[in-house]
Amino acid sequence: MKKVRTRFAPSPTGYMHIGNLRTALFEYLIAKHEGGDFLLRIEDTDQGRKVEGATDIIYNTLKMVGLQHDEGPDIGGDYGPYIQSERIGMYKEYADRLVELGGAHYCFCSEEEVETQRKEAESFNKAFKYDDPCKHIPLEEAKKRIAAGEPYVVRQTIRHGGATHFDDEVYGRIEVDNDVLDESILLKSDGFPTYNFANIIDDHQMKITHVVRGNEYLSSTPKYNLIYESFGWEIPTYIHVPHVMKDEHHKLSKRNGDASFQDLVTKGYLPQAILNYIALLGWSPETEQEIYTLEEMVKAFSIKRISKSPAIFDIDKLTWMNGMYLRAMSLEEFHALCEPYLCQAIHRDVDRKAVSRILQPRTDTLAQIAESVDFIDTLPDYSIEMFIHKKMKTTYEISLTSLKAARKALEELNDWSTEERIHDLLLTLPAQLGMKNGQVLWPVRTAITGKQFTPGGAIEITHILGKEETLRRIDKGIEKLETEA
């Protein structure tokens, strides 16, 4: 059985789009599920769209999510170069051979001639398909014109009549009438190949067995197969995947302001969680399991489970999944991730690991940390209405009584070394005051944080703030209630 070989072939045009990363993941899973090879190839023949530093972004993204390629520009391999612009001379040789085989022809038409036909098609409200008169030029005559220095391109030659079909692993049998196939340019006048040509040559030379790409290429694949057939090459297995959508009508697009992989990482999402989530965009496992390690994905992945329907990117689902990843970590792992955020958000001398401990059960993205703990440095200006909580059954009077009792008890506590001592002390107060636990703890938490929602409760936060700061904030809460209630 032939070894499975897949390739991720991005263009270095900027950030890593979610759809591109999902394609890379599916290619990786297909190869590794079968014990095959996963290649990285940089397709940079469109020099006008190339962005400085974009290739490094590709390398870094794959490294961050753990998609280690077996061959590529940075590590080499038996089928390089793995950057298309370093293979330029080879494409012309193949283009000339394809002309000799009858699968292509030299075209000398100007852009004005092509545009004239385009406008004519538009005037009749017809789909444009260039009818190239140059395909009737005898080959020897065309070669003489080239030798004389006349500019030219190489266009594919598609014979009229009949149909071309292929079998896609997701969409099944696809058949297209040859008469609707456009004779597109394969080699431009500057000697650079178009995507439609270069990827065929590269895939053949690199012995790619499975090609994964977006379903927008379904209609172009018959043209690719005609080139394979002209050369007498084996056609790869095709896996066309549906789009990742923003909603039912719009594709996810960086151009429209939708998040790239880098944007999501900046917003505090873990690379592993992002990868896990996008695996489920268009692929459904056989079980109800949703949280997967990369190794588990490799074992579970099946091409047959890829959906034909577009997948809608749900940021809420990703946020939930990211929270699951954070809560599954050890405290040490979580604190290591939190430390940079805590250093920026907290300048008071507190036990940051204790802060991480109260954050972990309540944090879904790392970007939430700063807002969650901003009260530690500075007590926000809050209204006394926050002391009223229907569920906790607090009133202004109950809150004032609770704060005064808590202040007196905490002031007398000399040992603040452990959270347990504060816990035991504060939980004796409700019985003494004839109140519920919440009627004491809610006013204390409100006074020391000034917020309705915080990571951790009154006891945990009191321990983190320390005795002096806790008493100062409770005094402020008492003052508010006495003067404003």
Which is catalytic among the residues 254, 304, 390, 451?
Answer: 254
For residue 446, which of 430, 432, 424, 462 has the smallest C-alpha distance?
Answer: 462
Q: In angstroms, rounded to a whole number, what is the distance separating the alpha carbons of residues 378 and 138?
A: 83
Which residues face 39 on adjacent strands? 7, 71
Active site residue 451: no
SS3 category, 11: coil
H/E stretch holding 167: strand 163-168
Residues near 51 by beta carbon (within 8 Å), at least 6 away in sequence: 12, 13, 14
Q: In angstroms, rounded to a whole number, what is the distance separating the alpha carbons of residues 38 and 26?
A: 10
Helix axes 54-65, 18-33, angle to 10 degrees: 50
Radius of gyration of the chain (CA): 32
Q: In angstroms, rounded to a whole number, what is the distance separating the alpha carbons of residues 56 and 38?
A: 18
CB 262 within 8 A of CB 268: no
For residue 285, which of 266, 275, 299, 273 has the smallest C-alpha distance?
Answer: 299
Q: In angstroms, rounded to a whole number, what is the distance separating the alpha carbons of residues 469 and 471?
A: 6
Structure tokens at 297: 């994905």
Q: What angle do CA 139, 144, 148 make, to 5 degrees?
A: 145
Residues near 312 by beta carbon (within 8 Å), at least 6 away in sequence: 244, 245, 246, 247, 248
Catalytic residues: 254
